[in-house]
Amino acid sequence: MMRVAARALSVFCPHCQKRVTLESLRIVGSHPGKTLATCGDIFVEPASQLNLEITANNVVVRGRVNGAVNANGRLQVASTGRVFGNVRAARIVVEEGGVIQGRCEMTPSFPVKKADETEQQETATPEPEELVPVDTTPRQIRPIHFD
């Protein structure tokens, strides 16, 4: 497990050298791109219409998503939410009126490590100073209008 400072919004994976986003996101419009991925949570608000793949720890859909949704923890589709694509999550909650049109797959969340594996990792990696949990306050993304 990698530890990061509370102010970090992203880190580079030491194994694959890819940028990993840590913050939670609140989508209130549209989002350019093909994927939206974070280690935090994603909240899709009622006015949002997304045409992309979503990957996050937990996902709450109150708007419309056209594309696959992958959640390590929980996927919640509210009464105003619509998902048109395959979904994969450890827990799936669909409120009355919510729609999922696609294949649903329930998968376990990340495997839990054994106690002796955790102890070996902790002793092998020195502890950086002044590390605290990552801020989970969602960041709001507003639509971009080109005039």
Looking at residue 45, its pLDDT comes to 94
The residue ranking higher by pLDDT, 104 or 142, is 104
Residue 115 has pLDDT above 50, yes or no: no
Per-residue pLDDT band for 103 (boundaries 50, 70, 90) equals very high
Please tell me whether the overall predicted TM-score, pTM, comes out greater than 0.85 for this model.
no
Cα torsion angle, 116, 91, 108, 15, sign: negative
Residue 1 has pLDDT above 60, yes or no: no
Looking at residue 91, its pLDDT comes to 94
Extents of the domains making up the chain: 19-107
Q: Tell me, what DSSP letter sits at residue 47? A: T
3-state SS, residue 120: helix
Q: Tell me, what DSSP letter sits at residue 124? A: H
Tallying the residues shown for the chain, one arrives at 147
Long-range CB contacts (< 8 A, 24+ apart) of 62-67? 63/27
